[in-house]
């Protein structure tokens, strides 16, 4: 068997026992019916699992089916529409959990594997590569989702909430979106973002975060640019769009700027920036450092609460 196939087989065998099918039960004139389904994966031995917020939206009850056929009712520990993440809890024993990877170590072109239940076909496996990092994507509800991983691993309805894994079988993302009519454009939420969100959802049932209003893409900084501006960054966040009337627009951020610093800290990855936009930054002005052409600019920006 060739090496490529062996890598995928071993990675899938490590993770697939923790991948689940989720059914959303809804009320109708015929009583309670299955209103939709998706995927998820167990990340703690006491029964917590990740899925997407849109998978559980509108459910009166939730049902989780494990790979071995066991079925359990699940309750919603919390959800965050801004990142399309939800955490569910089941009461079950002898649970297999997934190992986590580090999304900050990902590289464009790296092998990735998606596992889920597309169109009801349980434990379907597809593979591809990372196409881009640190993407911003507008969700179905109109909210901008940041720090997204773009991949060409084939996803279909029902894959939502399943794991995106690397060649070592470690989860590096939560599959969330496809773009209708596009081919090879699929997206996952970084696992680093997901872990941060999960802690708040389990503790508080919701998430409060700061927001500045930009769409971004993670890019490498060429040595000439780094030397010119004497920055330590190897990467930065390229601003592809500034939201109208947002804190970024009011601060003077422009399309094409490259964000390299925030609140006196280096910014190299979308995950780093996401973690900096914490609740205590809401309403408090900060310095945002950007490269614009051949100039380095330091802008004063005041984040607002996400959703305001």
Q: What is the pLDDT of residue 180?
A: 65
- Whether the pLDDT of residue 55 is over 50: the answer is yes
pLDDT tens digits, 139-150:
655 566 777 899
109/128 Cα distance (integer angstroms): 9
- Please tell me which residue in 37, 54, 146, 147 is annotated as part of the active site: 54
Q: What is the pLDDT of residue 307?
A: 63
pLDDT tens digits, 59-90:
889 999 999 999 999 999 999 888 889 999 99
Question: pLDDT category, 16, cuts 50, 70, 90?
Answer: very high
Provide the token pair at 272.
């780093």
Looking at per-residue pLDDT, the higher value among 276 and 29 belongs to: 276
- Please tell me which residue in 16, 80, 84, 246 is annotated as part of the active site: 84
Q: What is the pLDDT of residue 43?
A: 97
- Whether the pLDDT of residue 308 is over 50: the answer is no
| 264 is known as an active-site residue | no
259/290 Cα distance (integer angstroms): 4
- Whether the pLDDT of residue 240 is over 50: the answer is yes
Angstrom CA distances, 286 to 92, 136, 248, stand at: 46, 22, 11
Mean pLDDT of 89-96: 93
Provide the token pair at 7.
């890598």
Angstrom CA distances, 162 to 14, 30, 36, 171, 199, stand at: 14, 30, 15, 10, 19
Looking at per-residue pLDDT, the higher value among 9 and 294 belongs to: 9
- Please tell me which residue in 131, 147, 160, 246 is annotated as part of the active site: 160
Mean per-residue pLDDT of the chain: 89
Q: What is the pLDDT of residue 140?
A: 58
194/197 Cα distance (integer angstroms): 5
- Whether the pLDDT of residue 204 is over 80: the answer is yes
Three-state DSSP at 115 gives strand
pLDDT tens digits, 162-191:
999 999 999 999 998 766 666 678 899 999
| 123 is known as an active-site residue | no
| 160 is known as an active-site residue | yes
**How many degrees, rounded to 5, is the angle at CA 197 between CA 167 and CA 65?**
65
């Amino acid at each position: 068997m060739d090496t490529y196939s062996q890598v995928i087989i071993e990675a899938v065998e490590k993770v697939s026992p923790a991948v689940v099918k989720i059914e959303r039960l809804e009320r109708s004139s015929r009583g309670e019916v299955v209103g939709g389904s998706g995927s998820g994966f167990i990340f703690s031995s006491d029964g917590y699992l990740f899925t997407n917020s849109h998978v559980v939206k509108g459910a009166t009850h939730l049902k989780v089916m494990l790979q071995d056929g066991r079925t359990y009712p699940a309750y919603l520990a919390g959800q965050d529409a801004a990142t399309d993440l939800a955490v569910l809890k089941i009461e079950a024993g002898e649970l297999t959990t997934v190992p986590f990877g580090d999304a900050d170590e990902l590289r464009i072109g790296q092998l990735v594997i998606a596992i889920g239940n597309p169109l009801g076909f349980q434990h379907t496996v597809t593979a591809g590569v990372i196409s881009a990092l640190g993407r911003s994507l507008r969700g179905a509800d109109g909210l901008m989702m940041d720090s997204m991983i773009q991949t060409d691993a084939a996803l279909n309805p029902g894959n939502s909430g399943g794991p995106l894994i690397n060649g070592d079988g470690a989860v590096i993302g939560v599959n969330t979106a496809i773009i209708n009519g596009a081919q090879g454009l699929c997206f996952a939420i970084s696992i680093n973002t997901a872990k941060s969100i999960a802690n708040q959802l389990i503790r508080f049932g919701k998430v409060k975060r700061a927001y500045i209003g930009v769409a971004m893409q993670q890019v490498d900084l060429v040595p000439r640019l780094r030397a010119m501006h004497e920055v330590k960054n190897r990467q930065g966040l390229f601003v592809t769009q500034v939201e109208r009337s947002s804190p970024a627009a009011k601060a003077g951020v422009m399309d094409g700027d490259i964000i390299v610093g925030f609140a006196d800290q280096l910014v190299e990855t979308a995950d780093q920036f996401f973690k900096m936009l914490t609740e205590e930054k809401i309403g408090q002005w900060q310095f945002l450092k950007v490269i614009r052409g051949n100039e380095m600019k330091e802008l004063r920006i005041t984040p607002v609460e996400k959703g305001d």
